[in-house]
Amino acid sequence: MIPGVHAFAGTAADPGDPAYPVKKFSPDTSDVVYKIRDSVLAYFSPLSGRVEDIGDGIVRVRLEGEMHIKKGMRFSVYRESKPFYHPVTNELLGYTEDPVGKIGVNAAEVSDGLYDCTIIKGDIRAGDKVRITSSRIKLAFFQDRKSDWALSEAFYGALRDSGRFEILEAYTADYEPDTLSRLAEDLGAEAFLMFSTPVEGERKFLNLKLYWAEDATLFGELNEAAGHNIAGTFAPDEEFISSTLTETEPRGSYDLAGGRLIASGDVDGDGIKELVISDGNDIRIYRLKDELLELWFIKGSPAANHISLDVLDANNNGIAEIFVTSLETISDEIRMSSFVIEYDPSEGYRKIRDNMPYFLRVNGKTLLMQKFNRNEIFSGAVYEGEWDDGHYQPEKPLNLPAGVNIYGFTFVDWKNEGQTHLMTFDDSGYLYLYDEGENLKWKSDKSYGPFPFSFEMNSGSMDDPEAKWFVRGRLISVETKSGQEVVVLNRKPAVRLMPGLGSWEAEVYCLRWNGGDTMSEKLIVSNVFGAITDYLVEGKKIFLIAGSNLSAFFEKILSGEFSRGSILYYYNLPR
């Protein structure tokens, strides 16, 4: 490809032989799902041809080969430009092509071998070439929040497995076509799709609306009834995740120079969330789109040991801060030296607070703070932290059951009825559920595995001079239609040793309390090999960091030894 040139002419590609791979599908897959999938594909069949003439605003086009034309299709239009020659023989090889505009098909009917089209944009002339590319089409996928998640997942998978599209996704607060159009264009999509599953009478339908991203024009709407054989196979609407589908293979994995902790947020104020990853000393800022791109490297102190990492715009200036709980070892003495980093457009990332004697954690949209004490470690109450006159101050103390510290708990409203419970780990990995009166309602029968971050230090006690302390793992509350559920990571010894990943594996569960002493547990990710040191739920994705051959974050905090080299996995939650 010549730099600056979008295409060049010679022999045209056969539009009936697409460049993208087409996969085979199992015969028992839903006819309705694949019928709609094929209808979507029909709007993007690879085609090519020429403009024969233009008159009264109508562009008449002759297409090559076998074709299936649909009203609403759009062709990119190219014009032959400069010739290019063989560098040795000087033989004419062809002509470069410049993009000059777009046209849309008015009707699927043909007259004298010609199709009537309308100019969408550009200066179109007779003799120009028209084309629907055989390369993958970038398609943004949006769905109504009330959609049947299992039907959506089935359709999404069928669309993805066709190989025709690069499917893009983004969060949207509303479903107005203009809003979705802007989001789709920001993603670089050519078109976008809106999926829903409305109910009419006693029948559920699959409804799709197709729009062009550049102007939000609706060019296709598909509506098919889901057969009874389909509707009966899916989980109820109120479930967060279909119980029939468990991820066993990651949608992506990336090697990291080092990684132990992960958080996400818009840390540079550009409106896009970044991934923030710490290896225990240094911090890297990444953007994940098609690939994991490192944007910034923040060198840390060699004496520092980061034990927790969070992101929140606590000072409400539009740029999220990075909160790092860090312990430093200086002359065999350990002290808390937490800090906060914020991006400044003129200076880059800089510390705005340093040497804070607090453990820091973000729970939802609230900053939490708890004082560090060398003898007690977690000292006093856990406070809600607030930004006040250039400082982060502990303000309102939380009423927590005895034994609960800043790490390893979450608030959850199971039915969105305003009744908030607290779920927490103990140091052994067992789960406890308390009501608002701090009454114990439930305890897990099993441990969810050892925590990767622990340390030993002199407690000053004659009875237990060298005590072991734990940084309890994350519990993450997630919203569903009927209330909240809790995502929890289960670490356990692997049945077999995985080369380079050690002897540990992890599973991810979603928990729902049904009242009484019953807690429903749904497996959503399994067979994640490696010692998972941290994880994150961001939108419809779960990110997990696995350290290579890591059995613990460190044996003793005084050692300061880290195992470098990690893997970042991400899984799509069943849609």
Element (H, E) at 564: none
Please give the single-letter amino acid code of residue 58.
I
Pick the more confident residue, 551 or 96.
Answer: 96
Give the pLDDT confidence score for residue 273 in this predicted structure: 94
Looking at per-residue confidence, does 309 or 570 come out higher?
309
pLDDT in tens, 260-293: 999 999 999 999 999 999 999 999 999 987 788 9
What's the pLDDT score for residue 8? 26
More reliable by pLDDT, 559 or 410: 410
Q: Is residue 22 part of a domain?
A: no
189 part of a folded domain: no
Has residue 355 been placed in a domain? yes
Question: What pTM value is reported for the model?
Answer: 0.57
**Alpha-carbon torsion (350, 354, 360, 363), positive or negative:** negative
Tokens of 312: 């929140």
Both structure tokens of 37: 């999938």
At 333, phi and psi to the nearest 5? -110, 135
Amino acid at 303: A
> What CATH number is associated with residue 262?
2.120.10
CA angle 418, 366, 281 (to 5 degrees): 145
Instruction: Tabulate helix, strand, coil % of the chain (nearest 5).
Output: 5, 50, 45
> Does position 16 have pLDDT exceeding 80, yes or no?
no
What is the percent of the chain with per-residue pLDDT over 70, rounded to a whole number? 82
Q: Is the pLDDT of residue 298 over 90?
A: yes
Question: Looking at the domain assignment, is residue 277 inside a domain?
Answer: yes
Confidence of residue 246 (pLDDT cuts 50, 70, 90): very low
Worst-scoring range by mean pLDDT, 50-54, 238-242, 283-287? 238-242
Q: Is the pLDDT of residue 21 over 70?
A: no
Q: Is the pLDDT of residue 192 over 60?
A: yes
Mean pLDDT, rounded, for 94-120: 93
Per-residue pLDDT, 76: 97
Segment 365-393 shows an average pLDDT of 92
Closest-CA residue to 523 (of 508, 534, 512, 538): 508
In a domain? residue 298: yes
Res 494: pLDDT: 55
188 occurs within a structural domain: no
In a domain, 373, yes or no: yes
- The number of folded domains in the chain is 1
Range of the domain at 531: 252-572
To the nearest 10°, the Cα dihedral for 124, 129, 131, 133?
-120
Query: What's the pLDDT tens digit per position in 414-430?
Result: 988 888 999 999 999 99
Least confident range of 19-33, 217-231, 481-495: 19-33
Instruction: Considering only residues 575 and 3, tell me which one the structure prediction assigns the higher pLDDT.
Output: 575
Mean pLDDT of the chain: 82
Residue 339 lies in a domain: yes
Contacts of residue 87, Cβ cutoff 8 Å, sequence gap at least 6: none
